[in-house]
Amino acid sequence: MSTSTREALLQILEAGLHSGFALEWQTPDPAGGARIWPGPALWAWARRLASHWRRLSLPQRPRVAVQLPNSPIYIATLLATWMLDGIFCPLPAWRGAQTVSAVDSLRPDLLIWHGLGRVHTRRQERRGEAPLDPEDLALMLWTSASMHAPRVFGLTHAALLWQVQSHLPRLALERDSLVRNCLPWTHVFAGVLELLPTLARGSSLRVAALGTFRQESFTHVFVVPRVAALLQDTQIGALAGGIVGGAPISAELARRLRGSALRVGYGQTEAGPGVCLGDPGDFRPAFLGRALVEVEQRAGTLHYRSPGQALGEW
């Protein structure tokens, strides 16, 4: 099953990358301006990375831990990891002891990070027994730690494929769509529901600081309410789709978004990125959207069963 679902997901992403996808990336140095990365260039870069990593004598199904900003190298390493049938483990932008602790707990075979203006790669020797990862495991993501210490949960290729196939028909993404990135891809919301469908559809994706957000034009956003509140009314009216989730939506913001093309969405790293999704423009107090699959809440506990659910905690 691992090979078939992994290859199916990669085929969908490859098709989108070669059908018009472009990454508009604002370099960390504002003076450097924006650079356009065509999808075929990103796919070719990923293949070169995968070929290079094969020469490092990595074990089968390697864990690849990365601490990278939203960038071309993030996409290339994600794809290269899956080309090797590896497990992609993106680390949030932590510093110091928290990062060291996370790396120690993950025990990655390859560690890639950005620092001092460049990308560093280090082959890690495994200590002790090899981790017994399920053969379809694709992605290991950290929780946001808003209520508890951060924890790691896994998603399979089958779950990611289901998420892409379930959300694409609902997002109104087209080849000429422009998605404005606002959240880190290390989190399940943007890393799955924004990045993967955008790649698969062959739409364009803009990565830039929020400083110019209110002056820009775009067709889609995947944002938390705090960022959605920055949207001007003219921008809201011009949107063709997107999701607002990750935190409660105030009555005032719900009023502004009502009737728009945006949808309310709900998910958890612990459960899965796409648990509930509302209809376009349906924003109400305490409304989380409608369950995409079987969801039940008993005594404040979410009971969730779905082909796209998280595999478990590591």
DSSP secondary structure of 137-163: EEEEEE---SSSS--EEEEEHHHHHHH
Count CB-CB contacts under 10 A for residue 225.
17
DSSP 8-state secondary structure symbol assigned to residue 191: I
pLDDT tens by residue, 40-88: 999 999 999 999 999 999 999 999 999 999 999 999 999 999 999 999 9
The predicted pLDDT at position 272 comes to 84
Name the band, by pLDDT with cuts 50, 70 and 90, for residue 165.
Answer: very high
Of 3-7, 167-171, 233-237, give the lowest mean pLDDT range.
3-7
The enclosing domain of 67 has a CATH number of 3.40.50.980
46, 190: one domain: no
CA dist., res. 218 & res. 215, Å (int): 10
Number of domains in the chain: 2
* Domain end (from 155, 171, 191): 155
Domain that residue 67 falls in: 2-155
**Cα–Cα–Cα angle for 10, 16, 17, rounded to 5 degrees:** 85
Strand partners for 29:
none
Q: Among the residues of 111-250, which ranges form H helices?
A: 157-171, 188, 195-201, 225-228, 233-238
φ, ψ for residue 227, nearest 5 deg = -80, -35
168, 255: one domain: yes
Q: How far apart are the first and last CA of the chain?
A: 21
124, 94: one domain: yes
Q: What is the mean pLDDT of the chain?
A: 91
121, 219: one domain: no
Q: In what order do the strands lie in the sheet with 178-181?
A: 34-38, 22-26, 204-207, 178-181, 220-223, 241-244, 263-268, 272-277, 290-291
